[in-house]
């Protein structure tokens, strides 16, 4: 079987269609050497602002994928699509209900060979996504590991996403999750604002997602690319 579209990603910038980004900043992000741009957001994402952002990213060759958290925003033309599911919520709609509705209405339109389920564990109680999905974020390391096994071993989800959006997470917990995975690729995102944090995240997860800092400190954001790529090279050398 060939590698999935995200199979080699080590560093990813996540851009929110609902947040303005000027052409210079977008060019710097796309030309930074990152492996891909992930388009997604927790609120205010529409078909129109997603189309607009995609068309601007397409001036560059950087691969670009969409997190499809609402069916109406299913814009064609991305290199890949992730369908998020939140594991640690008691609101079943975020686990499978919304996804089932979307597939009922739009499933026939999806380019399935470029679609991957993305199992989220949401861990920052103050993030928009945690509030929106009513995620149970006060998990122990054992509980995080157990939810990860639900995704990896029971559901065989291709991507497990530890989401600390807005705050830098517990790298020991992230490393433990990675060490216990049998097949899923581990995405880490949340609070990366320096090259050193990016390096630590790259030592802990397979793929490092950098979001907010793009909008408030471009230089710092760009420094995370080299930090992750170098860390990945070191690990490839050691292992
Ligand atoms: C958000 O995981 C990403 O979904 C990145 O988090 O915005 O905190 O970098 P930050």
Which among 125, 200, 136, 140 is positioned nearest to 173, based on CA atoms?
A: 140
Query: pLDDT tens digits, residue range 171-222?
Result: 999 999 999 999 999 999 999 999 999 999 999 999 999 999 999 999 999 9
Ligand 1 pocket, Cβ-based, cut-off 6 angstroms: 14, 163, 165-166, 189-192, 209-213
The span from the CA of 99 to the CA of 83, in Å, is 8
- Each residue's pLDDT tens digit in the chain (239 positions)? 679 999 999 999 999 999 999 999 999 999 999 999 999 998 999 999 999 999 999 999 999 999 998 888 999 999 999 999 999 999 999 999 999 999 998 899 999 999 999 999 999 999 999 999 999 999 999 999 999 999 999 999 999 999 999 999 999 999 999 999 999 999 999 999 999 999 999 999 999 999 999 999 999 999 999 999 999 888 877 65
Shortest-distance atom of ligand 1 to CA 129: 4
> Angle 123-176-233 (CA atoms, 0-180°, nearest 5)?
105
**Cα 180 to ligand 1 centroid, rounded to whole Å:** 23
Q: Whose CA is nearest to atom 2 of ligand 1?
A: 189
d(CA 74, CA 237): 39
- Chain-centroid distance of CA 53 in Å reads 17
Of 152, 145, 165, residue with least CA distance to 211:
165
The Cα–Cα gap between 235 and 212 comes to: 26
For 118, the enclosing helix (H) or strand (E) is: strand 115-122
> Of all atoms in ligand 1, which is nearest to the CA of residue 189?
2
Contact 12, 36 (CB under 8 A): yes
Neighbours of 40 (CB within 10 A): 22
* CATH class of the region 11-238: alpha beta
């Amino acid at each position: 079987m060939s590698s999935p579209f995200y199979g080699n990603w080590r560093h990813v910038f996540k851009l929110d269609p609902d947040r303005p980004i000027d052409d210079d900043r977008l060019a710097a992000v796309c030309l930074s050497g990152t492996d891909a741009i992930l388009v997604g957001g927790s609120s205010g994402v529409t078909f129109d602002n997603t189309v607009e952002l995609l068309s601007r990213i397409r001036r560059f060759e950087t691969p670009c994928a969409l997190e499809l958290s609402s069916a109406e925003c299913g814009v064609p033309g991305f290199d890949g699509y992730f369908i998020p599911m939140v594991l640690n919520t008691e609101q079943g709609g975020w686990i499978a209900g919304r996804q089932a509705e979307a597939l009922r209405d739009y499933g026939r339109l999806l380019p399935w060979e470029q679609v991957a389920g993305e199992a989220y564990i949401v861990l920052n109680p103050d993030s928009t996504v945690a509030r929106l999905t009513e995620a149970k974020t006060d998990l122990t390391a054992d509980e995080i590991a157990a939810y990860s096994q639900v995704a990896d071993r029971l559901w065989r989800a291709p991507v497990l996403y530890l989401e600390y959006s807005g705050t830098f997470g517990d790298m020991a917990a992230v490393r433990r999750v990675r060490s216990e995975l049998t097949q899923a690729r581990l995405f880490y995102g949340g609070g990366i604002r320096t090259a050193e944090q990016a390096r630590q995240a790259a030592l802990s997860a397979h793929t490092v997602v950098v979001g907010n800092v793009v909008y408030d400190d471009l230089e710092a954001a760009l420094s995370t690319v080299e930090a992750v790529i170098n860390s990945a090279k070191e690990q490839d050398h050691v292992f």
